[in-house]
Structure 1
C-alpha cells in the first residue's frame, strides 16, 4: 500500500503470507440478486488460512457458512499477490474473502469475527518469557521476524539480532512466517515474532511443540493486534448484512474452529481469551 495505508498492506501481507497491492477501487456495479452458491476467493497454498485440500481454518469457516446458508461451496483459487482483489472479487467471479484486516480499503468489511495479536514463539524450555517488544530480555537474542512487519524495527531498537524473512512473496514458492517458526524448532534462532494465527498453528505442529506468548502487554508504538473481518465488494450492503448475521449467530462455532488451530484470540478489550474460558468474549 502507499502512504498512510502502508501498514494495512503490511498486515494483509502478514495475515495472508504474501504481498497484496491493488489499484484504485472499481466503480460500483449492481448487487447480485441471487446467490446460489458461496463463491470464495482464496489462496490455494496458504495454511493455516486456506489451501486447495480444505485444511485451513478459513476453509472450515467457509464450509460452516455455506452449510448455514444452505448453498454449495466453491472456490476461485489465486495466489494472494499483486492484483488479487482486482482479479477475483472485483471481476465478480467470487463473492467473499474470508480473512481481511478491518479497514482494508479495497473491500467492504463485514463485522470482525476474531481478533489476534503478534506472538513470540520460543522453545518450551526457553527463559525468554516476555509479552512486550521493548523488554530488555530481547537484547542480544537471535530472533526471526518477517521483514517490514510491525515488530521488525521495534525488535532492532530493543537490541535483538534479527534474522529477516522476506515479506513480499508468492505462497507457491515461499512461506516466510512458517519458515521463521520452523527455524526456532531447528535451533537456528532463539525465537520468532510472527502473526498470532501463524504462530499458534505452526508452533503446535513442531516436534516437540513450541511455546507461544501473545504480545498482549506491548507498550511500544508497534501495531500488533488486528480485527479480522470478511471482505465483500463495495456496493453490496445486503450481502454484507447476510454475512454479518451469520457471524453474529455462529460466533461460538467460529471460535471453536479457531481454537482447533491454536489461534491466540483477544476479546474486545484486547485481553487474551484462554481456550477454556468459552467463546462469547471474542464477539
Structure 2
C-alpha cells in the first residue's frame, strides 16, 4: 500500500449526507482511464475510523485492498480531510479512481451499484430496563429520555416529529473529528448522562462494539414517517467511464459475501433490500 505524503491533506466520511456534499469535487481534474492504470487510486480520510485511516485499519481500507487485489492493481491513497473550502480548493487537481463510501442517488457524481445498505441506529445501555426492546422512535418509552444525536442530521427531524427534542442533546462536529464527537456521545451514554444515542449505523455499531459497557443497538428500520434512515452506500466513480464502472460493479457482485464479512467484522448493521438485518454467518466446519 502506497501513501502519497505530498498529497496528504485528509478527508472525512462522516455520513452519507456529508459525503454527497463534496464528493463531486473529488474527480474534477482526473484524466485517463483507471481501467488501463496499474494503480487503484482511492480518495480517503487519514483519520476517520471506522471508515478509514492512514494505517489502513478502517473497513473502507480493507475493501479498497480487496478491490485492488481482485483487479491486480497497486493501491494508492489520496488523503483529503473534510473542511470548508479545503476540498473545493485542492480536489480539482487531484486524481482518484474511487471514493469508497458514497450515498446512492445523489446525482453529483457517478456511483456504482450499492455494496451495502445500512441505517441510523438507536443505542442504549443493555441493562436499562425502561428501554428494553425499544426499536422505533415512536415508542412512548422514549418520552423525556435524554437522547444524544448529531445536529442537523435526519434523526433530528425524526425526533422532532415524535416530540422527543425537548430532552435531546445535540452534539456538534464543528472542526473536530466526527469520531471524536461520537466517542464523546458514547462516553456520556455509558456513564448514564444520556439514556440513548442516535448515530449513523457504521459509527454506532463500531462504537458500541468497543464500549466497556454492554449496549443494545436498535437499527431504525420500522420508521414510517419523515426522512428515511436507511441508505444504500455505493462507491463514487468518475462520470463518462462506463467500462470502469462496470468493472467495479462486477467486483462488487462477485464478492458480496466477502464484502459483507468485512463490514460485519466492524459491527456495521447490514440490511438486505427488504430492510432485514443480515446476520454474521458462523464459520463452516
CA distance in 1, matches of 2:156, 2:175: 17
Structure 1 alignment gaps of length 5 or more: 1-11, 279-283
Aligned-pair distance for 1:13?
Answer: 4.8
Match of 1:150 in 2: 154
**Is the 2:186–2:197 contact (alpha carbons within 8 Å) kept by the matching residues of 1?**
yes
Aligned position for 2:4: none
Question: Would you say the 8 A contact 1:134–1:220 is kept in 2?
Answer: no
For 1:30 and 1:71, locate their aligned partners in 2 and report how far apart those are by CA, in whole Å.
16
1:50 and 1:93 mapped to 2: Cα distance?
19
Q: How does 1:207-218 map to 2 (within 5 A)?
A: 207-218=212-223
Aligned pairs for 1:22-33 (under 5 A) are 31-32=33-34
Partner residue, 1:198? 203
The Cα shift of 1:242 comes to 1.0
SS in 2 for 1:74: strand
1:166 aligns with 2:166: no
Pick aligned residue for 1:248 from 253, 258, 265: 253
CA contact (8 A) 2:17 2:103 kept: no
The Cα shift of 1:19 comes to: 8.8
Task: Report the equivalent of 1:79.
Answer: 81
Q: Which runs of 5+ in 2 are unaligned?
A: 1-12
Whether contact under 8 Å (2:20, 2:102) holds in the other structure is no
Conservation of the 8 A alpha-carbon contact between 1:54 and 1:60? yes
Partner of 1:187: 192
| 3-state secondary structure, aligned to 1:201 | helix
Whole-angstrom CA distance in 1 between matches of 2:94 and 2:106? 18
Does the 8 Å contact 1:18/1:80 carry over to 2?
Answer: no
Contact 2:157-2:226 within 8 A present in 1 as well: no
Q: What is the aligned residue count?
A: 266
What TM-score does the superposition give when structure 1 sets the normalisation length? 0.84
Q: Is residue 2:135 matched to residue 1:135? A: no
Aligned to 1:176: 181
Aligned: 1:105 with 2:93: no
Q: Which moved more, 1:176-185 or 1:94-103?
A: 176-185
User: What is the root-mean-square deviation of aligned Cα atoms in Å?
Assistant: 2.7
Take 1:27 and 1:41, find their aligned partners in 2: how far apart are those partners?
13
Aligned residue number for residue 236 of structure 1: 241
1:5 aligns with none
* Separation in 1, partners of 2:23, 2:254: 32
Structure-1 separation of matches of 2:63 and 2:117 = 15
TM-score (norm 2): 0.83
Q: Distance in 2 between matches of 1:88 and 1:258?
A: 30
Return the offset for 1:84.
6.8
Note the C-alpha offset of 1:22: 6.9
Distance between the aligned counterparts of 2:137 and 2:60, measured in 1?
29
Match of 1:272 in 2: 277
User: Which shifted more, 233-242 or 28-37?
Assistant: 28-37
Instruction: From the superposition, tell whether residues 33 and 201 of structure 1 become closer, same or farther in structure 2 (CA, over 3 Å).
Output: closer
